[in-house]
Amino acid sequence: MRTRTLGQGFDVSALSLGAMGYGKSREIDDREQMIGLLRAAVERGMDFFDTAESYGPWTNEVMVGEAFSGMRDRVKIATKFGWDIDQSTGEHRGGVNSRPSQIRQALEGSLRRLGTDYIDLFYQHRVDPEVPMEDVAGTVKELIAEGKVRHFGLSEAGAGSIRRAHAVQPVTALQSEYSLWTREPETEIIPTLEELGIGLVPFSPLGKGFLTGTIDASSTFAANDFRGSIPRFAGEARDANLALVELIRQIGARHDATPAQVALSWLLARKPWIVPLFGTRTLSRFEENVGALEVTLSDDDLARIDSADITIQGARYPDHQLRRVGL
């Protein structure tokens, strides 16, 4: 598999697999299948994987640690701190918490659950407005000096927070939502990353499934599917947004590529330091997504996307979740 370089010389596979859906807030009946998928991804050349203490909490990291037991030297693991999780019970108390003592306790828990003595990339999951970013970055800097962390990352942080953190401890990567239907980072975030030499790991590169072409005007969501609460998946907004899917379907037809492959190829074409992070629970979807590395969009394709008269309708999160983004 091809590789890319994020900030601070961190070389990783050009695509990354997110494990969030495996055991998040529940035990899933295909856990062994998911472990098999993670291992199969390594055998196919992927080495960059994403988890977090809050996924479960904790069950996800345990599963990832089990999946990579005996192959730690072949993988690069990103995990996250920053939510207010009771480090004794695992209770997710709902808010954010990036106090230095909490960061250290979260790290020790993650190391134990993942069965490792270091984390390759340690992200702050969300900015904590009650803790100065300098204190957060300073704590991670200490952990790097102690050899327990190799790289520092931020998630969904605004440009000001990125600059403040980077001034204390160079940031390797920002993880934020960026895709054909979420292009807001192009205004301020991407120029900031380019200036500072920080990589971007876009999550939801397939628009939470919308850009795969599998959702249409008749689609419904189960009660426990969070997409049912997202404005751009609802009613008239969803119907209008299908125009984007039709566009990438047409472009894909020129390359014998699926809509998902076009969406990922578009991200790969934006900057050489962008490493899209996707999630899947099936090997067939994994192989489809990795096939995006063989799709090269032409300048005409890229210009057609940029000039399309399509405005995405609906917010990407409900209002209460958006309040935590871009601080």
Q: Burial level of 243, CB count in 10 A (0-12/13-18/19+)?
A: middle
Range scoring the smallest mean pLDDT among 165-169, 217-221, 294-298: 217-221
pLDDT tens digit sequence for 271-305? 999 999 999 989 999 999 999 999 999 999 999 99
Question: pLDDT value at position 128?
Answer: 97
User: Residue 218 pLDDT more than 90?
Assistant: no
Between the alpha carbon of residue 167 and those of residues 23, 118, 135, 138, 164, the distances in Å are: 36, 23, 12, 10, 5
User: Residue 27 pLDDT more than 70?
Assistant: no
Residues that are catalytic? 55
| pLDDT, average across residues 197-223 | 93
Strand-strand pairing, 48-50 and 76-81:
parallel
The residues near 45 (Cβ < 8 Å, ≥ 6 apart) are: 1, 13
When pLDDT is cut at 50, 70 and 90, the band that residue 322 belongs to is low
pLDDT tens digit sequence for 227-258? 888 999 998 999 999 999 999 999 999 999 99
Contact 213, 249 (CB under 8 A): yes
The answer to whether position 303 is within a domain reads: no
The answer to whether position 67 is within a domain reads: yes
Number of domains in the chain: 1
Question: pLDDT value at position 25?
Answer: 45
When pLDDT is cut at 50, 70 and 90, the band that residue 139 belongs to is very high
Q: How much of the chain exceeds pLDDT 90, in percent?
A: 85
* Distance between CA atoms of residues 144 and 213, nearest Å: 42
User: Residue 315 pLDDT more than 70?
Assistant: yes
> Which tokens is 237 given?
């907004």
Domain hosting residue 14, numbered range: 3-208+259-297
Average per-residue pLDDT in the chain? 94
Question: pLDDT value at position 306?
Answer: 95
Question: pLDDT value at position 324?
Answer: 66
User: Residue 323 pLDDT more than 80?
Assistant: no
In the 8-state DSSP scheme, what is residue 22?
A: S
The answer to whether position 160 is within a domain reads: yes
Residue whose structure tokens are 């309708």: 313
pLDDT tens digit sequence for 60-119? 999 999 999 999 999 999 999 999 999 999 999 989 999 999 999 999 999 999 999 999
Residue whose structure tokens are 């003595």: 117
The answer to whether position 322 is within a domain reads: no
Phi, psi of 214 (to 5 degrees): -95, -5
Q: Return the number of other C-beta atoms located less than 10 Å from residue 32's C-beta.
A: 11
CATH for 162:
3.20.20.100
User: Residue 26 pLDDT more than 90?
Assistant: no
Q: Burial level of 93, CB count in 10 A (0-12/13-18/19+)?
A: exposed
Question: pLDDT value at position 327?
Answer: 87
User: Residue 159 pLDDT more than 80?
Assistant: yes
* Distance between CA atoms of residues 302 and 300, nearest Å: 5
In the 8-state DSSP scheme, what is residue 179?
A: B
The answer to whether position 273 is within a domain reads: yes
Range scoring the smallest mean pLDDT among 42-46, 168-172, 214-218: 214-218
